[in-house]
Structure 1
Amino acid sequence: MKKTYQTFIFDLDDTLLNFKSAEKQALQAIFNDFKLELDQNAQQAFSKFNESLWKKLEKKQITRADLFEQRFQTFFRNYYHLEVDGNQCSDQYLSYLANGHEEITGARHLLTNLASANKQILLATNGVARVQSQRVKDAQFTDFFDRVFVSEEVGVEKPDAEFFKYLFAHSKAIPENSVIIGDSLSSDILGGNNAGTDTLWFNPLNHQNHSQIKPTYQISSLNEICKFA
């Protein structure tokens, strides 16, 4: 039997907004700046490397400063034998990334339905506050959220229990009446487990879960979330 919830806590990237699309257009702009061709192999290599750095950040193996300095400096050095200013390149990339706000299919319809049902809707995202805020604003999603929590402002990354402790302390959400929704097992679902909150794993490609991280529920499309309202 499915439980219903009063508060829905959403991840942003690849849950409500298409991060892969935003990353691709931002990376293309950076490559254009350096007059380099962005082929599929380079794009996949960067995406994999960038994701690995964020995973290390989630595990507290590196700092945010390390991530922003290293991702382009190390990538361009290893892939193109090109020396770049890592921080300057990362700042430019973030300005391009802020322009990406393509929504995941069904996102606006879902948020509209939840708002109409008087549900509390919160946003919980890792990332850079100015980038995420701009993307949410440009997608015209801002008014749906009672509060927006970005790891840069909270001071810790998901899945740290402190992130969600801060969220519950600064919202009207009650853990037992809330559900955390996201595409990442290691960030969103583990975060929910650490917080003692039910979770919905958004898994549109039906990937196999080979980890020890167990979601409360699994869905393949956003419209399935209405069943929990």
Structure 2
Amino acid sequence: MYKETVTDVFFDLDHTLWDFEKNSALTFEKILSENSVQIALDDFLKVYVPLNMDFWKLFREGKITKEELRYQRLKTTFVRLGYAVSDELIFRLSEQYIAYLSSYNHLFPNAIHILNYLKPSYKLHIITNGFQEVQDKKLRNANIDSFFGQVVNSEMAGVKKPDPLIFKIALQRANALPERSMMIGDSIEADILGAKAVGFHTLHFNAHKEPAHGYCDMIHDLEEIKTYL
């Protein structure tokens, strides 16, 4: 469908190629155990996962800092679970979480396959709101860094998706035109609407079982990208 027009494909990383929820769960399993936190992992994640998404939205909107994000998502989780913890433990868990997260390297099914399929025909890039030191490690440790020409993160750009500037910086660095570029990501707000506003073609990877919408085509498996590219 886009084979004749698209030259550059931009991917989001977390929740699109890199299986954030799976790797995050494995990280929490390790650090909660190491710190003798007496909460079942499933009970912890049931509260933490939606809270983390809420705090990331606040961070994306510039309403909280990176430090506040990392502290408050844990603090609020423990408060809602009625589990008393010291600030010292929260800071330790936060540091360990960042230290260990990128050591788990689970990708979504067919991620490597689709990157190998696309690489000969398109220039591939990453646009991520994740933090540079963590995202670079994820790409390296998952052995997918070699697929991408440009990796643009929000710290480098000074703004976060869906701000048009991060997409414009990515286009400039990739020497690409928006009408010849496609953005593939899981977030309707950050990836799809953000990229569409700048003139990208878009494809929504529905990692969160969201309902149908009219913004762009939706896929549920990365293998489906072959239908479009």
**TM-score of the pair, normalised by structure 1:** 0.90
Instruction: Give me the whole-angstrom Cα distance separating, in 2, the residues matched to 1:8 and 1:228.
Output: 11
Q: 1:77 to 1:30 in 2, by over 3 A?
A: farther
Q: Residue 162 of structure 2 contacts residue 190 of structure 2 at CA under 8 Å; is this kept in 1?
A: yes
1:34 equivalent to 2:35? Answer yes
Secondary structure of the 1:21 match is helix
Instruction: Give me the whole-angstrom Cα distance separating, in 2, the residues matched to 1:69 and 1:207.
Output: 28
Return the offset for 1:29.
2.1
Matches within 5 A, 1:39-118: 39-79=41-81, 80-85=83-88, 86-117=90-121
Which residue of structure 2 lines up, in the alignment, with residue 128 of structure 1?
A: 131
Instruction: Give me the whole-angstrom Cα distance separating, in 2, the residues matched to 1:146 and 1:40.
Output: 38
Instruction: Give me the whole-angstrom Cα distance separating, in 1, the residues matched to 2:32 and 2:194.
Output: 34
Instruction: Give me the whole-angstrom Cα distance separating, in 2, the residues matched to 1:93 and 1:122.
Output: 26
Return the offset for 1:220.
1.9
Which residue of structure 2 lines up, in the alignment, with residue 203 of structure 1?
A: 206
Q: 1:204 to 1:66 in 2, by over 3 A?
A: closer
Return the offset for 1:87.
4.1
Return the offset for 1:142.
0.9
Is the deviation greater in 155-164 or in 79-88?
Answer: 79-88
Question: What is the CA RMSD across the aligned residues, in angstroms?
Answer: 1.9
Residues 9-55 of structure 1, C-alpha deviation per residue, up to 9 Å, x if partnerless? 00111211110111101111221232123331211101111111001
Secondary structure of the 2:146 match is helix
Residues 103-136 of structure 1, C-alpha deviation per residue, up to 9 Å, x if partnerless? 111111111111122x110011111212111111
5+ residue gaps, structure 2: none
Secondary structure of the 2:9 match is strand
Return the offset for 1:73.
2.9
The share of aligned pairs that are identical, in percent, is: 30
Q: 1:41 to 1:83 in 2, by over 3 A?
A: same
1:219 equivalent to 2:219? Answer yes
Instruction: Give me the whole-angstrom Cα distance separating, in 1, the residues matched to 2:15 and 2:209.
Output: 14
After the TM superposition, which parts of structure 1 deviate over 4 Å for at least 4 consecutive aligned residues? none
The amino acid that maps onto 2:68 is: D
Which residue of structure 1 lines up, in the alignment, with residue 14 of structure 2?
A: 13
5+ residue gaps, structure 1: none
Q: 2:152 aligns with which of 149, 152, 155?
A: 149
Matches within 5 A, 1:173-212: 173-203=176-206, 206-209=209-212
Return the offset for 1:62.
1.8
Return the offset for 1:179.
0.7
Return the offset for 1:167.
1.0
Is the deviation greater in 192-201 or in 74-83?
Answer: 74-83
Instruction: Give me the whole-angstrom Cα distance separating, in 2, the residues matched to 1:192 and 1:87.
Output: 35
Which residue of structure 2 lines up, in the alignment, with residue 24 of structure 1?
A: 25
Secondary structure of the 2:108 match is coil
Q: Residue 76 of structure 1 contacts residue 83 of structure 1 at CA under 8 Å; is this kept in 2?
A: no
Q: Residue 25 of structure 1 contacts residue 96 of structure 1 at CA under 8 Å; is this kept in 2?
A: no
